[in-house]
Amino acid sequence: HVGLGGGTAKRASRQRFACAARVAHRVLVSRLLREGMAKEPTFAPIPERPNFPQEEEKTLEYWREIDAFQESIRQSKGRPPFNFYDGPPFATGLPHYGHILAGTIKDVVCRHAHQRGHYVERRFGWDCHGVPVEGIIDAKLSIKGRADVLNMGIDKYNEECRSIVQMYVNDWRKIVERFGRWIDFDNDYKTMDLNYMESIWWVFKTLFDKGMVYRAFRVMAYSTALCTPLSNFEVALNYKEVPDPSIIVQFKRKDKENAYILAWTTTPWTLPSNLALCVHPSLTYLRVKKKTDGIEWIVGKDRFDWVCSSIKKDPKADFELLEEMPGEKVVGIPYEPLFPYFKEKVQREGREDKVWRVVSDGYVTTAAGTCIVHQAPAFGEDDYRVCVKFGIIDKDGTGMVHPIDEGGCFVADVTDFKGQHVKEADKHIKEMLKHKGNLVFNGTEVHNYPHCWRSETPLIYRAIPAWFIKVEEAREKLINNNNQTYWVPSFVKEKRFHNWLMEARDWCVSRSRYWGTPIPLWVSDDFEEVVCIGSVAELEQYAGRKITDLHRHFIDDITIPSKQGKGVLRRVDEVFDCWFESGSMPYSSKHYPFENKEEFEKGFPANFIAEGLDQTRGWFYTLMVLSTHIFDQPAFKNLICNGLVLAADGKKMSKRLKNYPDPQDMCNQYGADAVRMYMCNSPVVRAEPLKFRADGVLDIVKDVFLPWYNAYRFFVLEVTRFEADNEPFKPDPSRIKKSTNIMDKWINASLHELIRFVREEMDAYRLYTVVGGLTKLLEDLTNWYVRLNRDRMRGISGNEEALTSLCTLYEVLINLCVLLAPLTPFITEMIYGNLARALPDGHPLKAKSVHWVMVPDFDPEALDPEVQKAVGRMQGLIELGRTCREQRQVGLKKPLRSMTVTNADAEFIRDVKGLQSYVESELFVMSVNYSQDASQIALSAALNFKVLGKKLGKDMKAVQEAAKNLSQEELLKFEKEGTIKISGYELNKEEMTLSRSFKDVNDPNLHAIADSQTVVMMDFTFDEELEQMYLAKEVVNRVQKLRKEAKLNFEDPVDMWASVEAAAAPKKGAKQDPKLAKTLEKKADYIDKLLRRRLFRNSQRQGHELVVIEDEYDIDGERLRVCITARSAFCNMAEIRKLTGDEAAADAARMYLATFDYASLSSKVKEGDIEFCYGGQVCRLKHQTHFSLGAGEAAWLA
């Protein structure tokens, strides 16, 4: 015999035997099919263990074969359009989880829209311009700044950029397609294409003609790494907590000896550019004298204590107060500049009477510093404004000190720090101030500071001329248009985006770069004459040549004659901010208005867009600004905003740190569907962060996909079994409507409720509720419907019931495929492809792809809240029973005598009674008793301490004691009315809950458990009959395990045998009780019923059988030996002896029949009797008289 573990050789032998048995079966089926004896099954066989990633690869290949996506587009031509805008990513890096998440959301919505009868154009787009591209070229060619680009030539530089723009396009396509997204890469749009750029010019010209464009000298956030200003919304994209210098500097007064003015700054590098000091006119300032050296300081009264604390001095002990005065009295005091670099410039311009004096303005606060702010108008917005107000500089920037180059390094004027980057110069400036005696305090402050969102370097603020789009005057229009849109989640629209629009600033759209769409403005040298070009044709009129490209090196040489006698107009140096290009996407991707005018205008605004939360101040904003200015409409109607995908530890995903799993590895390990469902079933689709865990993806496979697949596989196996003895399976929904089985009605009602729910929720773009609803039905299907109707589908209740339950299961499975197709496009295609084989041609659910099938309408008549409530009550009761067993540590395999259900609600009892057979089956109880008698039930109260803590405070203990002493009448009244007064406090059902239990349960074999309405008591008394049922199930379990190990299908031609042996070494003096042997004898019919086939005694084997697999198992101290053999001739030896009249001849006849395998013997039987010759005598062996095809056919064994 084979031991429990078995050896490798023995297991290999088993597999060969099992393989031989299956091959024999396949040969037989093939032969019978050819001969018309068997029917080809409706559904293709499916493996026991799926490999989802491999199946997805097969599906991708299938989609390519049938051109699935493009065919779906062709099929939907002429349907109502569903317009979708896809924001363009850069193709200079590989897609990350953020792209995959946003792409999945877009794909789910667009697929669903298609399945709802819409034509959905889905074009991919590429953001081709800007810093991401230039940065790669700068690194490749070691370009440090503008001079290097000009020396190289803008033409060569831009062509280098063009050459690498789409370096990762093929990788993007591969990854996007692998994750199941259907989008058109062949008909994509690119922001560098002539048509796209021409439409950008049209957008700008439209704004220019409306007076929305102007040039101004402004202090703006500036990236020294990119050598260009950034717009205010770009600044908001990347704030970081960083340490910066925090210094107090003393400025020497000119009008008084040994006297100074104290100012505080976090940007020492701006001090060489200082032109004034600013106080608040109404704040109080102190003039104090240090007792140690007699030095006088002017400092804000509100900040003097902070100054003393910083320098570790006592305000009273170390200083003498000389004077308190308002800020306006300080105005006009002259002082010496800290650095001498610009004294000659000030004298040359005749500004000595205005520069390096104290001025005043209301922007100075008491929140930080000394209440005195140093003014460097080239590097501060308020500084610039105040210095213009006091005539220190002119509005056009004349008189300004601006000693840094485009890369943020000091120029030659600042001799001591020439060539140093401003941030690097901070420490050297502090050292010089300390040496000169001007540094009063040198500290550090950690604060939120803006960084360049492209280069991750700190920004500076710098006064430069730039081109702006007016936004501030359109705030009300923007808010009004935002109110016309629908966002998921709504708080992003109503709070984050609305607040941003409330404070919207004019938009700087110009960038001092090279690879981008040139701003189409031609100006005179004094900027007084400006011409805006809005099309290629218009430019060609001035150029006198054909224009085939709008990039700088193709058009910068074009000049326009001045109409005001100013010579010629030349194009301005700047290109567009890439956000202006992406914000123009709705128009430029269609080459509007030069082409597709009618099509665009019919489809604008878009039905739907989706991107991440970071686009609130990016693409969402620029879309809204441009559409409001051009059409006074929002650019979109509906928007889904997703949150950020973070590493498992909550930190930002980092390629350097490798703190997240590679998306393609997740795809190859678990499948794209699992990643898609994991993300869509998470808070990230509600604009909350997702901490991405590989375990979470695995959970989707284990908890959703495998149960779903197993239910589908079970269905296919049972239909194949059904068809073996019946007509081919044909889905018949009418059977479900006629069914009297409450579980059929329940799952059908749940299906149609889900169809209604999905349609409504997808109309509202709430993916997070849709996924939950879909997975809930999958759970109901696999954990309840299939589980509770398994035997019914196997024919235990007859063929009609089997067919009805199979039709019900089919209806749910195929509709689930249709509903889940947008979310999990691969597994649904795999399952649907097999299920659709049962549908006749022309059926509305039949197509080559599930993604071509329309979402069905729900059937109002199928909705049945009463049935759903009844089954819900049954489920709750079963869960209570399971918990009761768990508390007694008695598994579900052990049958129990009875359970008693007590509930005062007659409707509850009626509902559960109607489903009693399922309760008995699931809880393995022999009977269920019911009672509405509440007299045996005790109510008890429990306080919600978490909710009541603040309300009750120190009275908590007294109220808790009073609650314990409430009478049953008081508790019943509370249950009815919902409130009760205890110790002066009124409590509600959230603050106090009730529980039920049985009174006076003294029998140790009884155990009770309750929820808020129902009490369940189970009887755990030992019963020998029940013990035998338990052992019978254990036998069945071991037989099924052995069949599974041999990888046998239900229909494989094998026979099964069992025998019981006593334990090898019973304890000394112990009485041997052969319980298992008795069970095999007394519960034989029960075992056969559970197995759905006969389990024969090992003693009945005839010796010639081919063993497929065998094993031994220990069950409660007895050894069960199970053997499975390939089906072969089973001889009626008594009849053969009568026929041959000789024992030796009879044995020879048996050996002769054993030479036939099952397939050959089956074929031989069809031809008639089998002739057998022995000792010159010819005998005719008759089927069913002298032998049968396996022991199961042997009527003489009955």
Which residues carry out catalysis? 88, 127, 579, 615, 619, 652, 655
Residues 6+ apart with CB under 8 A from 745: 736, 739, 864, 867
Tokens 């390094």 sit on residue: 409
DSSP state of 473: G
Please confirm whether the linkage preceding 489 is cis (ω < 30° from 0): yes
d(CA 878, CA 1014): 12
DSSP-derived letter for residue 323 is E
- d(C-alpha 897, C-alpha 1019), whole Å: 6
Three-state DSSP class for 316?
A: coil
**What's 588-652 look like in SS3?**
HCCCCCCCCHHHHHHCCCEEEEEEEHHHHHCHHHHHHHHHHHHHCCCCEEEEEEECCEECCCCCC
Element at 693 (helix H, strand E) = none
> First CA to last CA across the chain, in angstroms?
28
Number of helices (H), then strands (E), in the chain: 46, 42
- CA-CA distance, 1071 to 1184, in Å (whole number)? 44
Phi, psi of 614 (to 5 degrees): -65, -15
Pairing of strands 1118-1126, 1129-1131: unpaired
Output phi, psi for 1103, to 5 deg: 100, -20
Q: What is the DSSP letter of 404?
A: B
The closest alpha carbon to 1014, from 917, 869, 878, belongs to 878
For residue 464, give every residue at least 6 positions away whose Cβ sits within 8 Å of its Cβ, in sequence order, or none.
217, 218, 220, 222, 229
> Could you tell me if 423 and 269 are in contact, meaning their C-beta atoms sit under 8 angstroms apart?
yes
Full 3-state SS string of 1083-1103: CHHHHHHHHCCCEEEHHHCCC
Q: Which residue reads 């329940």 in tokens?
A: 746
Size of the chain in residues: 1198
Q: Which of 654, 663, 653, 657 is nearest to 691 (CA)?
A: 653
- CA 112, 115, 119, 120: dihedral to nearest 10 degrees? 30
Query: What SS3 class is residue 875?
Result: helix
Sign, Cα dihedral of 1006, 1007, 1013, 1014: negative
Contact (CB, 8 A) for 724 and 1052: no
Whether the Cβ atoms of residue 634 and residue 485 lie closer than 8 Å to each other: yes
DSSP per-residue codes, 521-548 = EEE-TTS-SEEE--SHHHHHHHH-S---
Contact between 829 and 821 (Cβ < 8 Å): yes
Cα 1183 from Cα 577, distance rounded (Å) = 89
Residue 1175, Cβ neighbours under 10 Å: how many? 9
DSSP H/E element including 266? none
3-state secondary structure of 730: coil
* Residue 710 tokens, joined: 């197993």
Q: Which residues pair with 530 in a beta bridge?
A: 523
> CB–CB of 590/200 below 8 Å?
no
Q: Which residues share a beta bridge with 373?
A: 278
The first and second tokens of residue 440, run together, are: 């009063």
